[in-house]
Amino acid sequence: MKSEKEISVSITDVKQSPMTVFATAKKEQTGVYIYNRNRVAGVMLTVEQYEALLEKQSAQQDPKVKIAQLNQTIRQKIAFGSLISAKNLDEQLVSLGFITRKTESDNYNEMMNELNETGKIDYQLQKKEDRTNIFAEVIGEQSNQSQLPDKLIVKKVHLRID
């Protein structure tokens, strides 16, 4: 897909001065087509242009695909059926973009109270460009196998979009 304002250079030009090509891409705010023997071999972009392209692609991604990918990542980080501390659970979900549930400094009492009252802990994913609200319900129970009050057993994590 070529832009209206196509800028192109030869592969020889890239070999001689690649930074000049990046400067051109930045100045013109577009990718620079690289030709090799009169055929397009590729396009050079600045890091900012490439990351913006990735963000745009991610924002256009089907929410169901996002949920499936997020679900798979959660399963890799949190072993269902095993003992985990509330702090570790919170840190794992925060690392995936969810809003922390701890209050004050390392206080997870509110999380554990919610778990004991409802059988679950609700998390919300930080909103991105597409404004989709994604929630995670961490279903589990407080462990009676541990002397520490912040240990729980995660049975499953249910993701939903609102």
pLDDT in tens, 108-158: 888 999 999 999 999 999 766 667 788 999 999 998 877 777 899 999 999
Same domain for 73 and 47, yes or no, is no
- The whole domain housing 11 covers 7-57
Same domain for 94 and 51, yes or no, is no
Going 47 to 134 to 126 to 101, the CA torsion angle's sign is negative
Same domain for 133 and 113, yes or no, is yes
Strand extents, DSSP E, 45-150: 83-85, 120-124, 134-142
Please state, as a whole number, how many other Cβ atoms lie within 10 Å of the Cβ of residue 22.
17
Same domain for 13 and 82, yes or no, is no
Q: Pick from 62, 64, 28, 65: which is nearest to 45 by CA? A: 28
Average predicted confidence (pLDDT) for the chain: 87
Q: Report if residue 39 sits inside a domain.
A: yes
Q: Report if residue 2 sits inside a domain.
A: no
Instruction: State the total domains in the chain.
Output: 2
Same domain for 31 and 83, yes or no, is no
Same domain for 121 and 49, yes or no, is no
pLDDT in tens, 65-79: 778 888 999 999 999
Same domain for 90 and 23, yes or no, is no
* 162 Cβ contact list (under 8 Å, min separation 6): 133, 135
pTM to 2 decimal places: 0.60
pLDDT at 129: 60
pLDDT at 54: 82
Same domain for 83 and 145, yes or no, is yes
Is residue 87 within 8 Å of residue 150, measured between CB atoms? yes
Same domain for 53 and 77, yes or no, is no
